[in-house]
Amino acid sequence: MIKKRTIRSIPQKRTPVRELDPKVRVTNFEEVNCGYTEPEAMLESERCLFCPDPKCIGGCPVSINIPAFIKKIGEKDFRGAYDVITATNLLPAVCGRVCPQENQCEGVCVVGENLEPVAIGRMERFVGDLAIANNWVNLPFIEPAKYRIGIVGSGPAGMACAADMAKAGCDVTVFEAFHLAGGVLRYGIPDFRLPNTVVDAEIEKLEQLGVRFECNTLVGRLFTIEQMIEELGFHAVFIGTGAGYPSMLGIPGDSLNGVLSANELLTRCNLMAARNFPDVDTPLPLGKHVVVVGAGNTAMDALRVCQRLGAEKVTCVYRRSKTECPARAEEVHHAEQEGIEFHWLTNPVEIIDDGAGSVAGMRCIRMELGEPDDSGRRRPLPVKGSEFEIETDQVVFAIGTNANPIIGQTSKLKLNKWGYLETNAELMTSIAGVFAGGDIVTGAATVIEAMGAGRKAARGMKAYLGLRDVGPVNDAATLFGIDLSEHNFNRIRA
């Protein structure tokens, strides 16, 4: 019997995780965070207090039973931990790496009130990686349901919906416009943060569930959403096309050569592997001094990619201060370690032309924080007369994205005033049987939220088709009141 843990009895310090040396890693695309080893994960599991009212669960968008899986790790029952996590989260190896934990599960962890919070994400990743290494899949008994489901977009939202519908026995096809599946996980987030092998493994699991992927298929243009239902014989459709359309700043000079969106930079580098140019055909010319505008995850990725591609100096320009910056704390920390220069409270006003249509520099203005705005963050205001110039020959915008217009252009689906798809509480759109979720509904958000939306839409879809939800009916950890770890009933208790 474990003694009741208290905040005083648990290991006071978070178990550190091994990371590649900043000096070495800026020269390659290997993953920076090496992940916990088995003893490290077990040690960290001792820091969880198994709260009777676990706050962490409420902080996770898909309500993983966090203390239950941590307990399994402590018991060295890693497969059991995997089963607990995958009852709600299909992509533990991905989410453990990319969730903004400090704003979600770890942000509300009780231990965090006095000490550093329990490293939930790192433990989750440990379990996810182990599952990939050992090829664990929770293949349920699938009863064919004779329904055909079409999924548009292969990002986390589409993947999650596909998995749930396949588990419900449906014949699922995922359509992806690119030549490779994965959405932002593939083209956006670079290898040093989320290796493509992890994405491949997750997609392979879906294929084992019977999901088919049809790449190079631009839905809307090759066939419309309406045609999927009326002519192609899909009984229900899920749209998870993401929010790709990048914003430009709209300042003088933003169409100069050498100005590009972070999406273009990252797509060239990650999806098209332009970092290996000229071994591959897609080029990615890089400036000597790159300035990235913005400070979200996308901006951090762009900064660190440029550093790795060999830019001499990489600078981040952001109009608010470090406190308001929306990127994951770990990424900002890693970027700083890697020698990236930050100009907080700075806004670009003009990109300077070298006279031949390329970038020669950027004029900026200093900002100060005023009253809080609608988002609750303090509004940045320009400081008069504080303009100055930064030397640069390449500018990357990472200032957010808008709704992709293709589905709106080609279907009668109802959009809201920003061009995102409108849905009801079950995530059904204005066309019966057509559901939507992820960034195309909410605007740019997080991987786990997109995944949660995909699963929610799958629930709505099952209700619409009259399928019974085959997921755990009882509390995830017990079945008929019997602990799930006891499901092989003939085991003799120690």
Partner 1 sequence: MTREDYSDVTYMLEIHHPLMARAAKPGQFVIVMSHREGERIPLTIADFDAERGTITLVIQAVGKTTLEMQQTCRAGTSLYGMAGPMGIPSNPGSAKKVICVGGGLGVAPVYPQARALKQNGAYVIGVLGFRNKDLIFWEEKFRAICDELIICTDDGSAGLKGFVTDGINQALENHKDVGEVVAIGPPVMMKASAEATRARGVKTMVSLNPIMVDGTGMCGGCRVKIGDEVKFACVDGPDFDGHKVDFDDLMIRLRRYKEEERVATERWSETCRMRMVDGKVVPLPE
Distance (Å, whole) CA 175 – CA 162: 11
Least separation in angstroms between CB 355 and ligand SF4: 49
Contacts of 95 (CB under 8 A, 6+ apart): 89, 121, 124, 128, 447, 448, 451
297 interacts with, out of partner 1, ligand FAD, ligand SF4, none, CB within 5 to 8 A per kind? ligand FAD
Is the separation of the CB atoms in 245 and 409 below 8 Å? Answer: no
173 in contact with ligand FAD (CB under 6 A): no
Distance (Å, whole) CA 399 – CA 393: 19
Q: 109 vs 362, which CB is nearer to ligand SF4?
A: 109
Q: 119 vs 239, which CB is nearer to ligand SF4?
A: 119
328 in contact with ligand FAD (CB under 6 A): yes
Stretch that binds ligand SF4, among 93-101, 245-253, 281-289, 290-298 (CB under 6 A): 93-101
104 interacts with, out of partner 1, ligand SF4, ligand FAD, none, CB within 5 to 8 A per kind? ligand SF4
439 in contact with ligand FAD (CB under 6 A): yes
Distance (Å, whole) CA 9 – CA 70: 17
220 in contact with ligand SF4 (CB under 6 A): no
- Looking up tokens 């005033």 gives 417
Residue from 34, 133, 139, 215 in contact with partner 1 (CB under 8 A): 215
357 in contact with partner 1 (CB under 8 A): yes
Site for ligand SF4 in 110-129 (CB under 6 A): 110-111, 118, 120-121, 124
Sign (positive or negative) of CA dihedral 310, 313, 319, 323: positive
Is the separation of the CB atoms in 434 and 413 below 8 Å? Answer: yes
The two beta strands, 148-152 and 236-239, are parallel
220 in contact with ligand FAD (CB under 6 A): yes
* Structure token digits, residue 386: 């504080």
157 in contact with ligand SF4 (CB under 6 A): no
89 interacts with, out of ligand FAD, partner 1, ligand SF4, none, CB within 5 to 8 A per kind? ligand SF4
Distance (Å, whole) CA 188 – CA 292: 15
436 in contact with ligand FAD (CB under 6 A): no
Contacts of 308 (CB under 8 A, 6+ apart): 25, 26, 27, 28, 29, 192, 275
Distance (Å, whole) CA 471 – CA 66: 18
172 in contact with ligand SF4 (CB under 6 A): no
154 in contact with ligand SF4 (CB under 6 A): no
Stretch that binds ligand SF4, among 30-38, 55-63, 163-171, 294-302 (CB under 6 A): 55-63
Least separation in angstroms between CB 68 and ligand SF4: 9
Distance (Å, whole) CA 206 – CA 162: 8
216 interacts with, out of ligand SF4, partner 1, ligand FAD, none, CB within 5 to 8 A per kind? partner 1
Q: Which residues pair with 90 in a beta bridge?
A: none
271 in contact with ligand FAD (CB under 6 A): no
129 in contact with ligand FAD (CB under 6 A): no
Site for ligand FAD in 67-106 (CB under 6 A): 98-100
Of 399, 360, 374, the closest CA to residue 261 belongs to 399
Site for partner 1 in 160-189 (CB under 8 A): 177-179, 187
* Structure token digits, residue 19: 């990371």
Contacts of 244 (CB under 8 A, 6+ apart): 263, 401, 404
* Structure token digits, residue 298: 């996308």
What ranges in 17-155 are assigned the alpha helix state H?
A: 22-25, 38-45, 55-59, 66-74, 78-86, 92-98, 105-108, 120-134
Count, residues near ligand FAD per rule CB under 6 A: 42
352 in contact with partner 1 (CB under 8 A): no
Least separation in angstroms between CB 75 and ligand SF4: 15
Least separation in angstroms between CB 282 and partner 1: 5
Q: 101 vs 404, which CB is nearer to partner 1?
A: 404
Count, residues near ligand SF4 per rule CB under 6 A: 27
Stretch that binds ligand SF4, among 24-32, 58-66, 366-374, 460-468 (CB under 6 A): 58-66
233 in contact with partner 1 (CB under 8 A): no
Q: What are phi and psi of 372, to 5 degrees?
A: -65, 145
Strands of 203-330 (E only): list them: 212-214, 236-239, 245-246, 259-261, 289-293, 313-317
Of 476, 488, 441, the closest CA to residue 460 belongs to 441
160 in contact with ligand SF4 (CB under 6 A): no
Q: What are the residues binding partner 1 (CB under 8 A)?
A: 177-179, 187, 215-218, 221-223, 244-246, 248, 250, 254-255, 257, 260-261, 263-264, 267-268, 272-273, 277-283, 285, 356-357, 404-406, 409
Which residues contact ligand FAD (rule: CB under 6 A)? 98-100, 152-158, 175-178, 183-184, 188-189, 217-220, 240-242, 266, 297-298, 301, 328, 404, 406-407, 438-440, 444-448, 450
